[in-house]
């Protein structure tokens, strides 16, 4: 929809800003370059354009005779299928553009030996292996009472936590909740809407962390999983307060969970009980 | 004369609730009031779980029970199919709310300015917005509409009156689709003249099996659904939108 009343689209605002600071001509050249506008479809730095006109030029340049009106009429423009080589490294010639990945890392072995010899705990050096080496997941070393996999996820109403200050969106999405499968909840005596504690466990340090939020029972969650959306609890904006805690605080960084050898393993085990 | 209606394609709806949001902005409805509501439904048990969605505006019934019970003629059926509420005439008896089987009516409990999302005149806000029109203050809602020239557009205009979805009469009379239709990113909502077999909603209606909500009630809704089934007793609502009044 068009911007309402006295509000304007961001491109229109940028255009006016560039005029005011005296870089309009350069900005138009920049648009021509990045939208690949040439010949009769190139934008003229001596003229002013609306956002719609700019994208109309782009659509015409793409060969759409109706210009931007094509998208208003049809929504999307379906182009020809892309060859596999555009999307997949193995389909290029040579595969992956000829990039060769190191298989054996002698330096990693030296790091491991160095840290071990200096008395560092095993959690710090065990992932420095010269060859790709499988080991069990850190979280699986947590005690059995931490029987749920904790995941965080995105709600369709929000973008990260930066939109949680908007009361209109919060009204649509509700605040923080703890998603549990009904069978999982029943086994713990937890009912829909009941305040619960999610407690995560660090299998390396033994540290535990807690967050409280109302239970939300849904069959869309696996019985061995507890899930929380990640939009709430981190922002400092006034309108975003009182929407519940962030699950980010329940995850651990550090040895065993995030290492310097790209062995990131953010998953943690957690338990849930009535608050 | 065109007789308007809406066809909702449940195959396309992703439950994003963008229609709810654009309705609120276009019609200035107060906090906690949804003229358009998107139900999120869940059926079955894990792992055979299905989640589906259903938008529900006012059904603009041809045999509207809300019109029949209004003691002052504030709720009336227009020739073009829209069911309208004259908020200048409404006395707030709420009979329409009781009569409607779809639950689409909202009662305004407080003054308008107390129930919007920001106080545009608040001390800390006023210097920033510098007298601009608040994004929820749509000037076109103050105008009278239709041959009757009655005040039927917008929500939350007066304390103690009832209002509901108008199919965005202020847009329709200016040749535009309702806000929910215009903003739907997947074109699940289609609006137009249901009497014209060549109109977009008529063509969609002819292309798939369809149903209307509570067909047995005899209300003759002008909102049709294609690409899905009506909710059953096995259907559970999940993620209800949280009213903050």
Closest-CA distance, A117 to chain B, in angstroms, reads: 50
- Beta-carbon contacts below 8 Å between A and B: 74
- C-alpha of B237 from chain center: 19
| Phi/psi at B65 (5° precision) | -65, -30
Cβ-nearest to A220 among B16, B42, B182 = B42
| Closest chain A residue to the Cα of B34, Cα to Cα | A172
Q: For the segment A218-228, what is each residue's pLDDT rounded down to a tens digit?
A: 999 999 999 99
Annotate B82-91 with b (16+ C-beta within 10 A) or e (fewer).
bbbbbbebbe
pTM attached to this predicted model: 0.84
A273 beta partners: A197
A202: its two tokens: 């660090």
Mean pLDDT, chain A, whole residue set: 90
CATH number of B4-231: 3.30.70.20
Residue B123 above 90 pLDDT? no
pLDDT tier, A126 (very low <50, low <70, confident <90, very high otherwise): confident
Residue B1 above 90 pLDDT? no
Closest-CA distance, A75 to chain B, in angstroms, reads: 8
Interchain CB distance below 8 Å, A171 and B179: no
Question: What pairing do the DSSP bridges indicate for beta strands B4-9 and B223-226?
Answer: parallel
Q: Region A70-91: what's the mean pLDDT?
A: 88
Q: Region A216-242: what's the mean pLDDT?
A: 87
Query: Which 8-state DSSP code applies to residue A270?
Result: E
Interchain CB distance below 8 Å, A172 and B31: no
Interchain CB distance below 8 Å, A219 and B187: no
Q: For the segment A166-214, what is each residue's pLDDT rounded down to a tens digit?
A: 888 888 888 899 999 999 999 999 999 999 999 999 999 999 999 999 9
Cβ-nearest to B182 among A1, A5, A156 = A1
- pLDDT of B245 reads 47
Mutate to test the interface with A, among B180, B234, B242, B243 (most CBs of A within 10 A): B242
Q: Region B19-31: what's the mean pLDDT?
A: 91
pLDDT tier, A262 (very low <50, low <70, confident <90, very high otherwise): low
Residue A74: other Cβ atoms inside 10 A: 12
Residue B120 above 80 pLDDT? no
Q: Does B46 touch chain A (CB under 8 A)?
A: yes
Cβ-nearest to A172 among B44, B132, B241 = B241
Q: Does A168 touch chain B (CB under 8 A)?
A: yes
- Cα A150 from Cα A226, distance rounded (Å): 5
Interchain CB distance below 8 Å, B241 and A223: no
Interchain CB distance below 8 Å, B46 and A171: no
Domain extents in chain B? 4-231
Complete domains list, chain A, with CATH:
10-74 (no CATH), 138-274 (2.40.40.20)
Contacts of A5 in chain B (CB under 8 A): 132-133, 135, 137-139
Q: Region A38-50: what's the mean pLDDT?
A: 95
Interchain CB distance below 8 Å, B132 and A171: no
Q: Does A220 touch chain B (CB under 8 A)?
A: yes
Q: Percentage of chain A with pLDDT > 90?
A: 63
Q: For the segment B214-231, what is each residue's pLDDT rounded down to a tens digit?
A: 999 999 999 999 999 898
Residue B149: other Cβ atoms inside 10 A: 9
| Closest chain A residue to the Cα of B26, Cα to Cα | A4
Cβ-nearest to B20 among A5, A172, A222 = A172
Q: Does B235 touch chain A (CB under 8 A)?
A: no
Query: Which 8-state DSSP code applies to residue A124?
Result: H
- Cα B213 from Cα B222, distance rounded (Å): 10
Interchain CB distance below 8 Å, A219 and B44: yes
Q: Percentage of chain B with pLDDT > 90?
A: 73
Q: ipTM score of the complex?
A: 0.85
- pLDDT of B124 reads 78
Closest-CA distance, A243 to chain B, in angstroms, reads: 12
- pLDDT of A186 reads 98
């Amino acid at each position: 929809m068009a911007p309402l009343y006295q509000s304007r689209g961001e491109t229109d605002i940028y255009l006016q800003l560039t005029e005011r600071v005296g870089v309009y001509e350069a900005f138009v050249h920049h648009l021509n370059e990045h939208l690949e506008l040439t010949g009769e479809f190139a934008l003229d730095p001596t003229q002013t354009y609306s956002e719609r006109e700019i994208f109309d030029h782009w659509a015409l340049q793409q060969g759409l005779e109706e210009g931007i009106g094509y998208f208003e009429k049809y929504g999307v423009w379906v182009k020809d299928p892309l060859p596999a080589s555009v999307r997949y490294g193995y389909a290029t010639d040579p595969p992956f553009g000829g990039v060769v990945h190191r298989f054996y890392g002698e330096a990693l072995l030296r790091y491991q030996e160095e840290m071990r010899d200096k008395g560092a705990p095993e959690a710090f050096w065990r992932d420095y292996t010269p060859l790709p080496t499988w080991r069990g997941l850190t979280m699986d070393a947590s005690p059995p009472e931490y029987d749920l996999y904790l995941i965080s996820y995105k709600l369709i109403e929000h973008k990260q936590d930066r939109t949680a200050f908007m009361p209109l969106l919060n009204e649509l999405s509700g605040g923080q909740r703890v998603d549990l499968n009904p069978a999982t909840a029943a086994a713990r005596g937890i009912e829909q809407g009941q305040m619960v504690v999610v407690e995560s466990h660090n299998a390396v340090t033994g540290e535990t962390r807690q967050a409280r939020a109302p239970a939300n029972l849904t069959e869309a969650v696996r019985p061995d999983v507890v899930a929380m959306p990640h939009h709430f609890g981190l922002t400092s904006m006034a309108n975003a307060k009182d929407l519940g805690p962030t699950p980010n605080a329940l995850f651990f960084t550090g040895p065993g969970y995030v290492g310097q050898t790209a062995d990131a393993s953010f998953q943690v085990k957690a338990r849930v009980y009535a608050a | 004369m065109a007789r308007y209606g809406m066809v909702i394609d449940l195959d396309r709806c992703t439950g994003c609730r963008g229609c709810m949001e654009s309705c609120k902005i276009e019609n200035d409805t107060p906090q906690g009031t949804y003229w358009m509501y998107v139900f999120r439904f869940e059926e079955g048990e894990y792992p055979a779980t299905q989640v589906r969605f259903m938008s529900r505006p006012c059904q603009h019934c041809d045999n509207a029970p809300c019109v029949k019970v209004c003691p002052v003629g504030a709720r009336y059926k227009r020739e073009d199919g829209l069911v309208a509420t004259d908020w200048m005439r409404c006395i707030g008896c709420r009979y329409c709310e009781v009569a409607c089987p779809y639950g689409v009516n909202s009662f305004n409990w407080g003054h308008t300015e107390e129930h919007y999302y920001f106080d545009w005149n608040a001390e800390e806000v006023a210097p920033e917005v510098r007298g601009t029109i608040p994004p929820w203050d749509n000037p076109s809602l103050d105008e009278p509409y239709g041959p009757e020239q009655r005040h039927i557009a917008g929500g939350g205009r007066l304390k103690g009156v009832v209002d509901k979805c108008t199919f965005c009469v202020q847009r329709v009379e200016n040749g535009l689709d309702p806000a929910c239709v215009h903003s739907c990113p997947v074109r699940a909502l289609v609006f137009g003249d249901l009497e014209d077999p060549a109109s977009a909603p008529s063509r969609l209606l002819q292309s798939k099996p369809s149903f209307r909500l509570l067909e047995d009630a005899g209300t003759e809704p002008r909102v049709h659904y294609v690409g899905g089934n009506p909710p059953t007793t096995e259907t559970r609502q999940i993620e209800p939108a949280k009213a903050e009044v």
